[in-house]
Amino acid sequence: MTASTVRHFLRDDDITAAEQREILELALAFRQDRHLHRPFAGPQAVAVIFDKPSTRTRVSFSTGIAELGGYPLVIDSATSQLGRGEPVADTARVLESMVSAIVWRTFGQELIEEMAAHSGKPVVNALTDSFHPCQILADLAAVADARGGVDALAGLTLTYVGDGANNMAHSYLLGGALAGMHVRVGAPAAYQPDPRIVLDATRIAAEQGGSVTVTTDHADAVAGADIIATDTWVSMGDEEQYQERAGVFGAFQVDARTLELAAPGAQVLHCLPAYRGKEITAEVIDGPQSIVWLEAEYRLHAQKALLTWLATR
C-alpha cells in the first residue's frame, strides 16, 4: 500500500458520517464480544508512541491490540531516537516497514500529519494539542450504548464547557457534528475554539442535520442539553499557564446547578483525568448522571473498532 491510499485517523473528520457510524456499531459489538475480530493475528506489531503521559490511552491501546491478535509495541519517545530529534519522516519510513499501524500521542498536529505523509501504514492520533479523536469515538459509543444504540445519537444536544480551545473541544465539535448532534461549546472569551474548526464543524453539522453553537455563557450553553461534557482547564503542555487559567474558568464548572439547567436525565462525560472541585464537582462526576466509567471503558472497544476498520480497508 502506498502512503497516498492508506487511511489515517488524525482528526475526527478524517472519516465520513457513514464510516463513523460503522466504527461506532463495531465498538458496541466489541463490548459484547471482546474477540469478535483479530485483524492483527500473527501477531502483527502496532507501534504506540507517547510524547506525553497517559493511563487510559496506553492501557486501552495495549490491551486492545493484544485482543486483536497483535503485539503492542509501546514506546516512550523520551527513550527513543524520536525523542533525540530523529526526523519524524525517517521514523515513519522505518516503522512502516515493521508494524501494521502507528498510534501516536504528541504535541503539534503538524507532527502527526508529517508522520502520516510518510507512512504507508495507518497513523492514528492518540491525542495532539488540537484533537483527541479516539476519545470522541469512545464518548459517542458510550452515549449510544447508554441510550439504546447508535441511532440515538443524531439530534441529541451535546454541550462541552470549559477550555474551548483545547483538543477535546475541537474533537467534540467535529465528531459530534459528524454524528448529527447539536454541539454547543461554552467557554471564556479568551479560550474559544479555533474558528477554522468551528467553520468545518458547522458545515458538517448542516450536512448531518445538526448544528454548532459557540458561546461565552455557561447557562446558555448547558440549557436543555442532553449530554454535558467537560475536561481539565489545564491540558498537558499548558502547565506553565496554571495560575492565569485558575481564575478564568470558575463560571464554567459542571456542578449540580449545571445539571438542573440541562435536560432531565442528562448524562455527564469527562475524558479523565478529572480534577474534582475544578472543572467538575465530586457530586456530579461520582453521581448517578455520570457515565464517565463507561466512557473510559469504551476507549478499549472504540479503538479496537477503529483499528479493525483501518486494518481491513
8 Å CB contact between 155 and 181: yes
Q: Which is nearer to ligand NVA, 44 or 230 (CB)?
A: 230
135 is catalytic: yes
8 Å CB contact between 102 and 121: yes
In whole angstroms, the minimum distance from the beta carbon of 146 to ligand CP comes to: 18
Burial tier of 12 (Cβ tally within 10 Å: 0-12, 13-18, 19+): buried
231 is catalytic: yes
Q: Which is nearer to ligand NVA, 159 or 235 (CB)?
A: 235
* Residue 267 among known ligand-binding residues: no
Q: Which is nearer to ligand NVA, 138 or 198 (CB)?
A: 138
Sheet of 71-76, strand order? 71-76, 45-50, 101-105, 123-125
Return the SS3 of 267: strand
Residue that is written with C-alpha cell 507512512 in the block: 119
Q: Which of 11, 182, 184, 299 is catalytic?
A: 299
Binding partner of residue 55 among ligand CP, ligand NVA, none, CB cut-off 5 to 8 Å per kind: ligand CP
Q: Which is nearer to ligand NVA, 167 or 258 (CB)?
A: 167
* Residue 181 among known ligand-binding residues: no
Answer yes or no whether residue 166 interacts with ligand NVA by CB under 6 A.
yes
Burial tier of 312 (Cβ tally within 10 Å: 0-12, 13-18, 19+): exposed
Q: Which of 135, 253, 267, 303 is catalytic?
A: 135
User: Identity (one letter) of the amino acid at 131?
Assistant: F
Answer yes or no whether residue 135 interacts with ligand CP by CB under 6 A.
yes
**Residues flagged as binding site for L-ornithine:** 167, 231, 235-236
**Catalytic positions:** 105, 132, 135, 231, 271, 299
Binding residues for carbamoyl phosphate: 54-57, 81, 105, 132-135, 271-272, 299
Binding site for ligand CP (CB under 6 A): 54-57, 127, 135, 271-272
